């Protein structure tokens, strides 16, 4: 009898402890744990997270703060957002009360924005809870109707005061009550498994035979096709995307390829694929080492484009549509591009432009009137190159050195670049492939995404395809945002589109979106920062036109330029780049001095 009582007691204690470890608060990190990397909260900018003492001295809280170099120079504003989507418990509820306990210092704005979503991700209700902008702990509260609700979208948004330090936001906890009852008293809900897909509804593809892509009928008549990878850094995803693009070039009259990469970094690549022997591939690839692309796959694709263009009647153009997060990095890249163009002929107008560009980094204003007339540089660059350079300089100077503004403007900038390049470089019968992340090309977002903007502009001429993978490795960034490493992807979980498609046992396939159930599902949706929890809840209906699915890696994930390099090596490389820039500047100045000396004589 005693043994039975003890067993029941131990069993109930175990169940109780297990329940404590799996509450809504802990699962969705509503208590902002400081002893581990956040998994549910996704940062929408480069926020610096650390721990600090809370209102109760025994508790630690999460702090978002502005950091310094040598205690003097701030290098990162805390402007940005932490966001996640929470799946509500099963049942019917009328009202949610949400409490957020925080304190803030030197912020222009801080708030918790809550959107109530239904099964189709339609916003039923949205409102904000303001966070007081003072250094005292405070709990704000908001009420949100829950009729027909399935999801809560939580967005902690903040904006730091320009040029003021210190600035911080401390996060203690978010508490949610459903009809007056704490959400932790309900079991954590999860999505049901999806029904098995029919093989007759999918189109088998091949890693080696690109002609099978021609079995997708829409690829013939869509003018802009956007590929959206659901994980940055996958060699296999890169391989499949570039194979897809090759097929569009060879068989479907694609003459323009646009990558989610800063334009100024891709301009030299376009010179290379157009046959400019002054550009060496090994030097160009150094710019890829900090990108989300596999260097091996990118190198193979660049070589293929160069070989294709040698005999092509209509040559392919490669461009980037993104913007650098750093104004100074952007200007230095344009400087290097112009310097290389001018290496042999040493055009005085281009030398002057190079020095004028660098002067803007130190705070001197740059006027577009300082851009040389095309007649002064036409021997060194084509008319289209000049127009592109003028377009980019206008764009980057308009954005200025506000990193957060650059981040927030990315989708609109990418849209502006796509429409600009289409008008400048494409005939009406020529096609474009855009290769970016799923978040940019999909048709549902909390802000106008690239996909939304392109769909509004081009209607049925726009076609979006997501690239998903079930198993494999990825090249991820470490949380310090400097080092990268190769890590295994989290396998598809039950209820995910990846798990269900893997049951077909087809290595590579395409499935039209009409065969995907119009319901909430799990899908991998990460960038290049490693997370153990890689799946988001969403409804794919209306987001995409189709899916390319990879069951598992078919190529070895490697990165010869990055893998194995430690932080010291990467920092040393940055020092070498700075020294190289100084050398180039001195070289240009010496040419001016020589001209001046000759004029005096």
pLDDT at 5: 44
pLDDT at 462: 97
What tokens appear for 182 in the block? 């704490």
Residue with more model confidence, 129 or 134: 129
> Would you say residue 563 has pLDDT above 50?
no
Strand partners, 95: 145
Residues sharing a CB contact under 8 Å with residue 397, sequence separation 6 or more, in sequence order: 360, 366, 368
pTM: 0.88
pLDDT at 17: 40
pLDDT at 601: 65
Share of the chain above pLDDT 70, in %: 88
Sign of CA dihedral 423, 429, 434, 439: positive
Which has the closest alpha carbon to 335: 561, 575, 578, 576?
578
> Would you say residue 3 has pLDDT above 70?
no
What is the rounded average pLDDT of the residues 206-212?
A: 92
pLDDT at 21: 63
Pairing of strands 224-229, 431-437: parallel
> Using an 8 Å Cβ cutoff, are 243 and 210 in contact?
yes
What is the rounded average pLDDT of the residues 130-153?
A: 93
What is the rounded average pLDDT of the residues 184-195?
A: 93
65-86 per-position pLDDT tens digit: 765 444 444 445 678 889 999 9
Sign of CA dihedral 301, 306, 311, 317: positive
Share of the chain above pLDDT 90, in %: 58
Through-space distance between the first and last CA atoms of the chain, rounded to whole angstroms:
113
375-406 per-position pLDDT tens digit: 999 999 999 999 999 999 999 998 888 777 78
Question: What is the average pLDDT score of the chain?
Answer: 86
> Using an 8 Å Cβ cutoff, are 115 and 446 in contact?
yes
What is the rounded average pLDDT of the residues 432-457?
A: 92
What is the rounded average pLDDT of the residues 183-191?
A: 95
Cis peptide before 166 (omega within 30 of 0): yes
Which has the closest alpha carbon to 531: 246, 200, 230, 247?
230
What is the rounded average pLDDT of the residues 56-60?
A: 66
pLDDT at 42: 86
> Would you say residue 53 has pLDDT above 80?
no
428-437 per-position pLDDT tens digit: 899 999 999 9
pLDDT at 50: 76
SS3 (DSSP) at 327: helix
Which has the closest alpha carbon to 155: 114, 110, 183?
114
DSSP 229: E
Confidence of residue 487 (pLDDT cuts 50, 70, 90): confident
d(CA 332, CA 264): 9
d(CA 446, CA 416): 19
What is the rounded average pLDDT of the residues 447-459?
A: 93
What is the rounded average pLDDT of the residues 506-533?
A: 92
> Would you say residue 304 has pLDDT above 50?
yes
What is the rounded average pLDDT of the residues 500-522?
A: 95
pLDDT at 147: 95
Q: Looking at 46-55, 329-338, 484-493, 497-506, which range is the least confident one? A: 46-55
d(CA 286, CA 298): 12
> Would you say residue 457 has pLDDT above 50?
yes
pLDDT at 31: 94
Q: Looking at 73-87, 304-318, 528-542, which range is the least confident one? A: 73-87
Residues sharing a CB contact under 8 Å with residue 494, sequence separation 6 or more, in sequence order: 193
What tokens appear for 308 in the block? 């294709």
């Amino acid at each position: 009898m005693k043994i039975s009582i003890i067993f029941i007691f131990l069993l109930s204690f175990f169940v109780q402890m297990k329940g404590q470890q799996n509450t809504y608060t802990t699962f969705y990190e509503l208590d902002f744990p400081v002893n581990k990397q956040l998994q549910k909260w996704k940062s929408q900018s480069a926020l610096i997270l650390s721990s600090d003492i809370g209102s109760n001295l025994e508790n630690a809280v999460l702090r978002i703060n502005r950091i310094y170099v040598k205690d003097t120079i701030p290098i990162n504003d805390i402007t940005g957002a932490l966001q996640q989507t929470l799946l509500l418990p099963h049942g019917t509820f009328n009202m949610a009360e949400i409490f957020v306990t925080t304190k803030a210092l030197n912020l222009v704005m801080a708030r918790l924005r809550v959107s109530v979503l239904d099964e189709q991700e339609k916003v039923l209700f949205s409102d904000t809870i303001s966070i007081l902008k003072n250094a005292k702990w405070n709990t704000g509260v908001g009420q949100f109707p829950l009729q027909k609700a399935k999801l809560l979208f939580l967005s902690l948004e903040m904006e730091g005061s320009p040029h003021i330090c210190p600035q911080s936001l401390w996060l203690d906890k978010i508490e949610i009550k459903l009809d007056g009852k704490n959400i932790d008293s309900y079991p954590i809900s999860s999505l049901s498994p999806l029904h098995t897909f029919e093989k007759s509804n999918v189109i088998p593809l091949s890693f080696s035979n690109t002609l099978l892509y021609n079995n997708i009928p829409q690829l013939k008549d869509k003018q802009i096709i956007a590929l959206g990878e659901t994980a940055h850094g996958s060699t296999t995803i890169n391989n499949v995307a570039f194979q897809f693009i090759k097929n569009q070039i060879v068989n479907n009259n694609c003459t323009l390829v646009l990558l989610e990469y800063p334009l100024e970094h891709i301009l030299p690549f376009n010179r290379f694929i157009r046959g400019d022997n002054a550009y060496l591939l090994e030097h160009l690839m150094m710019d890829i080492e900090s990108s989300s692309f596999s260097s091996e796959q990118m190198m193979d694709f660049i070589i293929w484009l160069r070989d294709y263009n040698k005999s092509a009647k209509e040559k392919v153009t490669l461009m980037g549509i993104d913007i650098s997060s750093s104004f100074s990095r952007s200007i230095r890249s344009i400087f290097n591009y112009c310097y290389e163009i001018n290496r042999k002929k040493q055009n005085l107008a281009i030398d002057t432009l190079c020095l004028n560009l660098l002067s803007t980094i130190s705070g001197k204003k740059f006027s577009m009137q300082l851009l040389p007339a095309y007649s002064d540089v036409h021997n060194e660059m084509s008319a289209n190159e000049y127009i592109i350079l003028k377009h980019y300089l206008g764009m980057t100077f308009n954005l200025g050195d506000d990193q957060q503004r650059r981040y927030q403007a990315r989708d609109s900038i990418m849209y502006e670049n796509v429409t600009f390049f289409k008008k400048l470089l494409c005939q009406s019968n020529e096609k474009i492939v855009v290769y970016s992340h799923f978040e940019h090309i999909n048709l549902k977002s909390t802000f106008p995404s690239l996909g939304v903007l392109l769909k509004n502009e081009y209607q049925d001429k726009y076609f979006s395809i997501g690239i998903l993978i079930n198993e494999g490795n990825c090249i991820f960034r470490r949380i310090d945002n400097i080092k990268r490493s190769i890590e295994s992807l989290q396998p598809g979980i039950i209820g995910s589109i990846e798990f269900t498609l893997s049951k077909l046992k087809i290595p590579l396939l395409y499935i039209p979106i009409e065969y995907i159930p119009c319901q909430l599902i799990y899908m991998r949706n990460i960038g290049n920062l490693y997370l153990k929890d890689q799946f988001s809840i969403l409804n794919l209906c209306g987001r995409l036109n189709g899916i390319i699915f990879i069951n598992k890696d078919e190529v070895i994930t490697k990165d010869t330029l990055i893998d194995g390099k430690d932080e010291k090596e990467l920092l040393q490389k940055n020092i070498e780049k700075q020294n190289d820039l100084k050398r180039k500047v001195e070289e240009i100045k010496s040419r001016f001095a020589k001209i001046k000396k000759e004029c005096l004589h």
